[in-house]
């Protein structure tokens, strides 16, 4: 079915403006193929499916700043609101030298699906700046963040669109965004971003939430396939806020983390890496490279590592047709957004490897972002235990519902998640109706 649906997508592509065309491979093309796969399951709501193939709004902004050496630099920034049928736009902002409009469009669409999959009252949005933040001083980074926030100020707001951290952005950047928006508004607006420092209305548990969510759905999925976590060998790509925390939680539960890869290299130890020591190494040296108590592997060998659970927690399009055959894991839990291409998805499916898709696996972060937003509105803050308990409950319930749909329709967990989420989005779309 997948192939015929994909070719349908190509046949119809002449109807779409060129920048929405799935033939232009990349994350947006992948997302469109995922939507094609779900369309046969949407019943009468498929009438509205075109809505999902177009972002509601996309803003490109020029972000000029003065560098420390007195020269000017211009960076390209984006904010895309994919869908707001179920509530305000919600999704992170990433700073990366390879960010493109098409990538931000895909990431915003995956936020729509993710937020609907866990039933948060949000639509989907995403932002980014095409910049390598490692090349900027702290002052330059602050000026870049503030000017970007001011430029996208026409779109964002606590009831309109709420940014949050993503790749290479953090609590300090959220603090500058909150301050800039508030200064422009003339009132402190803590609910305009989530993932803020606790001292500015951030939520306990937010920093660890994405990794905790990955761990929670991993536990649930392992139970379904009869995998004992305490005996499981784990390989993790990306050792930041998502991969690092997920690895820590799996190791605490008794699993053996055998391999970790990040931008600096790949470390391996068959008997298990000391995860707290590796986290310490990364905080001192910026990457896993040079972690002495482990072997260094050539990067290409990471995918073939002998493990039970593989957690891609870095960037998009990492598991592709060229490495999906080598994967030895019994399941893949997508901590990153969009790490598996549709071709690789099919290969893993045929090989009986379970893929827990990004749109449920990494939904823990935005779930606690939702808690943060609610706490900011009510100015009443919850305990960390309460937050973690609510997070785990939401993740477990969402996973169980998706598992059931996957069982019922004999489809992958990704298509099942898209069925649940797209049905919710399009139901809201239909109830609201077209204006005018
Ligand atoms: N950037 C995270 C994600 O991709 C979190 C978004 C949010 O909290 O709004 O899910």
C-alpha 159 – ligand 1 centre gap (Å): 17
Chain centre distance of CA 146: 23
C-alpha 293 – ligand 1 centre gap (Å): 33
Q: Does domain 3-189 have CATH number 3.40.50.10860?
A: yes
User: Both tokens of residue 415?
Assistant: 């298509």
Q: How many residues does the chain have?
A: 436
Q: Specify the ligand 1 atom closest to the Cα of 165.
A: 1
Please tell me the pTM assigned to this model: 0.93
Atom 9 of ligand 1, residue of closest alpha carbon = 91
Residue 26 is predicted with a pLDDT of: 86
Known catalytic residues are 126
Atom 8 of ligand 1, residue of closest alpha carbon = 366
Would you tell me the crossing angle of helices 413-432 and 27-38 to the nearest 10 degrees? 80
Low-confidence ranges of the chain (pLDDT < 50): 1-14, 21-23
Residue 19 is predicted with a pLDDT of: 52
- Taken in order 202, 107, 395, 231, is the CA torsion positive or negative? negative
Whether residue 141 contacts residue 157, with contact meaning beta carbons closer than 8 Å, is answered with no
Helix (H, G, I), strand (E, B) or coil at 425: helix
C-alpha 175 – ligand 1 centre gap (Å): 16
Pocket of ligand 1, candidates 27, 166, 376: which has the most ligand atoms within 8 Å of its Cβ, to mutate?
166
What residues are in contact with ligand 1 under a 6 Å CB criterion? 90-92, 164, 166, 194-195, 337, 362, 365-366, 369
In the numeric block, the tokens 């290969």 are attached to: 347
DSSP secondary structure, 204-219, as one string: TTHHHHHHHHHHHHHH
C-alpha 108 – ligand 1 centre gap (Å): 10
Residue 411 is predicted with a pLDDT of: 95
C-alpha 130 – ligand 1 centre gap (Å): 18
Domain with CATH 3.40.50.720 in the chain: 207-356
Pocket of ligand 1, candidates 126, 164, 362: which has the most ligand atoms within 8 Å of its Cβ, to mutate?
164
Rg of the chain over all Cα atoms, to the nearest angstrom: 21
Residue 12 is predicted with a pLDDT of: 41
Domain with CATH 3.40.50.10860 in the chain: 3-189
Residue 17 is predicted with a pLDDT of: 57
Collect all residues with Cβ–Cβ distance below 8 Å to 393 and sequence separation of at least 6.
Answer: none
C-alpha dist (Å) from residue 433 to 57, 192, 427: 18, 27, 10
C-alpha 8 – ligand 1 centre gap (Å): 31
Q: Specify the ligand 1 atom closest to the Cα of 195.
A: 8
User: Both tokens of residue 18?
Assistant: 């060129």
Beta strands in 274-398, from DSSP E residues, in sequence order: 295-297, 309-312, 331-333, 354-356
Q: With residue 60 as reference, give the H or E element that holds it.
A: strand 57-66
Q: Specify the ligand 1 atom closest to the Cα of 362.
A: 10
Q: What fold does the segment set 207-356 form as a domain?
A: Rossmann fold (3.40.50)
Q: What values do phi and psi take at 82, rounded to 5? A: -75, -45
Atom 5 of ligand 1, residue of closest alpha carbon = 366
Q: Specify the ligand 1 atom closest to the Cα of 91.
A: 9
């Amino acid at each position: 079915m997948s192939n015929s649906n994909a070719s349908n997508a190509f046949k119809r592509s002449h109807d779409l403006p060129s920048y929405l065309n799935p033939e232009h491979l990349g994350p947006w093309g992948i997302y469109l193929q995922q939507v094609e796969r779900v369309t046969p399951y949407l019943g009468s709501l498929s009438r509205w499916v075109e809505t999902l193939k177009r972002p509601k709004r996309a803003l490109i902004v020029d972000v000029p700043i003065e560098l420390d050496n007195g020269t000017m630099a211009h960076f390209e920034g984006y904010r895309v609101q994919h869908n707001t049928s179920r509530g305000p736009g919600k999704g992170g902002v990433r700073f990366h030298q390879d960010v493109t409009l098409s990538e931000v469009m895909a990431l915003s669409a995956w936020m729509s699906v993710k937020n609907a999959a866990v039933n948060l009252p949000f639509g989907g949005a995403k932002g980014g700046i095409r910049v390598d933040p490692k090349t900027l001083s702290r002052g330059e980074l602050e000026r870049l963040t503030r000017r970007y926030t001011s430029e996208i100020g026409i779109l964002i707001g606590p009831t309109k669109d709420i940014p949050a951290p993503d790749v290479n952005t953090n609590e300090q950047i959220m603090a500058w965004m909150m301050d800039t928006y508030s200064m422009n508004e003339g009132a402190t607006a803590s609910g305009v971003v989530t993932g803020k420092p606790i001292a500015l209305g951030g939520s306990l548990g937010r920093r660890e939430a994405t990794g905790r969510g990955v761990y929670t759905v991993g536990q649930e999925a392992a139970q379904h396939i009869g995998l004992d976590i305490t005996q499981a060998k784990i390989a993790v790509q990306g050792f930041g806020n998502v991969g690092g925390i997920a690895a820590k939680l799996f190791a605490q539960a008794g699993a053996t983390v055998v391999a970790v890869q990040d931008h600096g290299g790949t470390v391996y130890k068959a008997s298990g890496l000391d995860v707290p020591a590796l986290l310490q190494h990364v905080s001192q040296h910026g990457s896993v490279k040079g972690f002495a108590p482990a072997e260094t592997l050539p990067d290409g060998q990471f995918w073939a590592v002998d493990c039970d659970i593989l957690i891609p927690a870095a960037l998009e399009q990492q598991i592709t047709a060229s490495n999906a055959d080598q994967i030895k894991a019994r399941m893949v839990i997508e901590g990153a957004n969009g790490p598996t291409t549709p071709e690789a998805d099919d290969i893993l499916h045929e090989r009986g490897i379970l893929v827990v898709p990004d749109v449920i696996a990494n939904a823990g972060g935005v779930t606690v972002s939702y808690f943060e937003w609610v706490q900011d509105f009510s100015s009443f803050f919850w305990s960390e235990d309460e937050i973690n308990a609510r997070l785990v409950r939401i993740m477990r319930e969402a996973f169980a519902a998706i598992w059931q749909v996957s069982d019922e329709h004999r489809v992958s967990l990704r298509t099942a998640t898209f069925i649940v989420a797209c049905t919710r989005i399009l139901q809201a779309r239909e109830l609201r109706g077209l204006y005018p």
